[in-house]
Amino acid sequence: VITITRAPPYLTVQDSGRRHSRASGVPPGGAIDLFALRAANALAGNHIDAAGLEWALGGGSITFEQDAVFSLGGARAHAILSGKAAAPWTTIYARSGDELTIEQISGGRFLYLAVSGGIDVPLILGSRSTYLPGRFGGYLGRMLKRGDSLPVGAQTGQPPPSGFHSAADLLPRYETGIVHITRGTHADLFSESAWRTLTESEYVVSAASDRTGYKLEGAALSNPAGSLPSEASCPGSIQIPGDGFPIALMADAPTVGGYPKIAVVAEADLPILAQRSPGDAIRFELITIEQSQRALKRRTSDLHTISQLASRSSR
């Protein structure tokens, strides 16, 4: 069991999300930076799809009520485990009664905490992820508060030794503001000049951005179509509403929408976009679907490498 002793402004249980209920209008949800949660899981000795905590907007503390192995990943944070600094992307052993304090998030946006055995909340539609708009999943369908105690599952194998960490070159290049995109289902509706604007100017993540979508500020694109008959969207879809300012849909976005989709963020780069805070700048670079799927395969194989090295080191 782990207990929230001081809750940050945002804290939820997330895993890899719901991948079979879109026809019922249920978004996939799950960790907004899925790579970070999965890598943290591997470093805690878990299956990559185990549930962990998604943490944002400020500091807080949790207490381990049992001996545990954990790992932090995603946003950079000033983390302390009972007086000692807790390094990111590293296997750390906690004793029963130890307190983990995140003093502040110093770069990036969403921090992940994976605990060996995973957070053991009920599976809803195949996932333990919290879907806040629908008030289901995770812990009672809500954000975690001070005093909440979360059950931790049984360890499935031997976690890596203390101090095991991931090589930096296996992680996404979070510090670059480059986000690759492929042409969206309505790419052809947009003029060449709109495309030049999208790929040659800088966009800034607006304050109006959350797990549903990131609104982008910068040069407006003229939307020639207005609103279209609704069709499916996916996280990473870049839609252009009437005001011309792009919105990148994220994990909890509705499954269908009527704004034209000019482009879709390459899944390999979705973590880079997800970790951008309001005020951070990004640039888009157009690639083909083949290049994008190759990049995703590389990202998947990097994750696999982290898992392999972690499980080999534990022998």
Partner 1 sequence: LTSPQLRAHPLGDSAVTITFGTERTAKLLRQIHAAAHSLHAAKLPHIEDVVPAYLALTVFYDARHTSYAEIAKKVLEVCDQPARFAHDARETREHLIPVHYAGMDLEAVAVATGLSVGEVVERHTRRAYTVDLLGFVPGFAYLSELDTSLQLPRRAEPRPRVPAGSVAIAAAQTAVYPLDTPGGWHIIGRTQTVMFDPAREPPALLRAGDTVRFRRVT
Residue among 95, 173, 297, 298 that touches partner 1 (CB under 8 A): 297
Smallest distance, partner 1 to C-beta of residue 302, A: 13
Cβ distance to partner 1 smaller for residue 133 or 151:
133
Residue among 147, 154, 169, 229 that touches partner 1 (CB under 8 A): 229
Closest CA to 219 of 194, 190, 238, 192: 194
d(CA 86, CA 119): 20
Residue among 227, 230, 243, 285 that touches partner 1 (CB under 8 A): 230
Smallest distance, partner 1 to C-beta of residue 49, A: 12
Query: Are the C-beta atoms of 68 and 46 separated by less than 8 Å?
Result: no
Residue among 58, 59, 134, 218 that touches partner 1 (CB under 8 A): 134
Stretch that binds partner 1, among 20-28, 86-94, 113-121, 219-227 (CB under 8 A): 20-28
Cβ distance to partner 1 smaller for residue 205 or 265:
265
Stretch that binds partner 1, among 42-50, 57-65, 109-117, 295-303 (CB under 8 A): 295-303
One-letter amino acid of 122: P
Smallest distance, partner 1 to C-beta of residue 38, A: 12
Smallest distance, partner 1 to C-beta of residue 27, A: 8
Q: How many amino acids of this chain bind partner 1 (CB under 8 A)?
A: 46
Cβ distance to partner 1 smaller for residue 133 or 161:
133
In the stretch 234-273, what mask flags binding to partner 1 with x, by CB under 8 A?
x-xx----------------xxxx---x--xxxxx-----
Residues 6 or more apart whose CB falls under 8 angstroms from that of 223 comprise 240, 241, 242, 244, 259, 260
Residues 6 or more apart whose CB falls under 8 angstroms from that of 276 comprise 109, 177, 205, 214, 282
**Binding status of residue 184 toward partner 1 by CB under 8 A:** yes
**Binding status of residue 106 toward partner 1 by CB under 8 A:** no
Cβ distance to partner 1 smaller for residue 60 or 236:
236
Residues 6 or more apart whose CB falls under 8 angstroms from that of 97 comprise 63, 64, 65
Task: Centre a 10 Å sphere on the Cβ of residue 87 and count the other Cβ atoms it contains.
Answer: 14
Which residues contact partner 1 (rule: CB under 8 A)? 19-27, 124-125, 131, 133-137, 182-185, 229-234, 236-237, 254-257, 261, 264-268, 289-290, 292-293, 296-297, 300
